[in-house]
Structure 1
Amino acid sequence: MPTGVHLRDVRQQLFHAAERVLLRDGPGALTSRAVTAEADVAKGVLHRHFADFDDFLAELVRDRLARLADQAVLLHAAAGTRSVAQNLVAALIELFDPVTVALTSLVFFRDELRTRVRTDSGLPILTEARTMLSNYLSAEGEQGRIAPDADTNSLALSLIGAAHLLSADHRRKTLRDHKDVEKMVDTIIADVVQRRLL
């Protein structure tokens, strides 16, 4: 490996390698050896930049959470544009890409990893996703596009749970049918969208 490579570059190289292993072989195949082999770097490179493999996995999840934070900003800014359903469908499809679904499984099954990345109650990634959707729905409520008394936390929880089940039901490399997501979103938000007009 060339000297002078920035730490961030090495980290991203290892993160991308881990994502490829997740997509190709699933969470059970994600080991330090698999990651370094996929990244085509010496085995010791990972341990030079991370305290241990769980530290690496925690940073991988935090990297995904940073992307989710960016998505949350964009979704909140989308309030008032297109339809509520269209915004939610797009957000859920982007959120539950195959890597995020695999990482969610990894966090669920690895207690040490879950402990390291826990920032709030609940399962990391899904908890932040629920907050993202709840904040978005609150913004739509303020604009009168859903019922003002809508329980946005419960709606967000329903959307996240249903979308996760739809995503987990598909093979790692297969994109879900957008029509299934659209039908699910329409069903969950039908009441609050209809009652805004009453």
Structure 2
Amino acid sequence: MPTGVALQDPRGLLFDAAVRVLVRDGVTGLTSRAVTIEGGVAKGVLHRHFADFDAFLADLVLDRIARVETQATALRNAAGTGAVADNLTQALMVLFEPVMVSIVVLVIARDELRTRLRAAGTARFPLVGEGAAMIAGYLRVERDHGRIASDADVDTLAPALIGAAHLLFTERKGSQPEPAAVHKVVTTVLASALR
């Protein structure tokens, strides 16, 4: 990028570059220099918009959390339509797409990042906690519709689904599991709750 050229969306450009580096090179390859090289900008651009690299990473994760919150609204709005297991399978396929799995690994790997995220009010385990809240919220609405057993403990079922799905997705480096495998996890975890 030539000096003096204004960037239209420097935050978005840097976030997109970071995601590409993270998915391609993993947590150890994600440095401020790698991000700015990938984004085609001077290193100073990152530091002009963020206090430091961990502040940048925290904003990147918060951006992804906002996407999960948008997905949660759409999932709750889908309650009462389609099959519960199909809706949850689709939601988990989106939630655990490769970028999100890579970001979860990043959050686990960086103590300072987790500290900043918790200070920002995220779940105790950022992204995973918001994913569990999304699933629990959906299951509550489906329970209200009578499609989940009235005595179903959605606050236990949701993290069980998230944990089982997360293991399924992290076992496959570079590719997602087949939707049928995710559907099997959903129907198994919810077997006693589905109506």
TM-score range, shorter chain: over 0.9
**1:116-150 Cα shifts (integer Å, max 9, x gaps):** 11225520001111111001000000000010111
Q: Is the 8 A contact 2:27 2:109 kept in 1?
A: no
SS in 2 for 1:145: coil
Query: How has the CA–CA distance of structure 1 residues 120 and 40 changed in structure 2, closer, same or farther, with 3 Å as cutoff?
Result: closer
Residue 184 (structure 2) pairs with residue 188 (structure 1): no
Instruction: State the Cα distance separating 1:178 from its structure 2 match.
Output: 1.5
> Which residue, out of 131, 152, 155, partners 1:153?
155
Q: Amino acid of the residue matched to residue 92 of structure 1?
A: L
- TM-score, normalization by structure 2: 0.95
Q: Amino acid of the residue matched to residue 157 of structure 1?
A: P
> Which residue, out of 112, 127, 130, partners 2:129?
127
Instruction: State the Cα distance separating 1:177 from its structure 2 match.
Output: 1.7
Residue 73 (structure 2) pairs with residue 78 (structure 1): no
Instruction: State the Cα distance separating 1:175 from its structure 2 match.
Output: 1.9
Gaps (5+ residues) in structure 1?
A: none
Residue 71 (structure 2) pairs with residue 87 (structure 1): no
Q: For residues 26 and 180 of structure 1, what CA distance do their matches in structure 2 show? A: 25
Partner of 2:179: 178
Query: How has the CA–CA distance of structure 1 residues 114 and 137 changed in structure 2, closer, same or farther, with 3 Å as cutoff?
Result: same
Partner of 2:54: 54
Q: For residues 167 and 5 of structure 1, what CA distance do their matches in structure 2 show? A: 36
Alpha-carbon RMSD across the aligned residues, in angstroms, is 1.1
Q: For residues 76 and 127 of structure 2, what CA distance do their matches in structure 1 show? A: 18
Partner of 1:39: 39
Q: How many residues align?
A: 191
Q: For residues 150 and 171 of structure 2, what CA distance do their matches in structure 1 show? A: 34
Query: How has the CA–CA distance of structure 1 residues 184 and 115 changed in structure 2, closer, same or farther, with 3 Å as cutoff?
Result: same
Q: For residues 10 and 24 of structure 2, what CA distance do their matches in structure 1 show? A: 21
Q: For residues 163 and 56 of structure 1, what CA distance do their matches in structure 2 show? A: 28
Partner of 1:97: 97
> Which residue, out of 139, 161, 170, partners 1:137?
139
Instruction: State the Cα distance separating 1:176 from its structure 2 match.
Output: 1.4
Q: Percent identity?
A: 53
Gaps (5+ residues) in structure 2?
A: none
**1:48-82 Cα shifts (integer Å, max 9, x gaps):** 10000000000000010111111000000000010
Q: Amino acid of the residue matched to residue 174 of structure 1?
A: S
SS in 2 for 1:116: helix
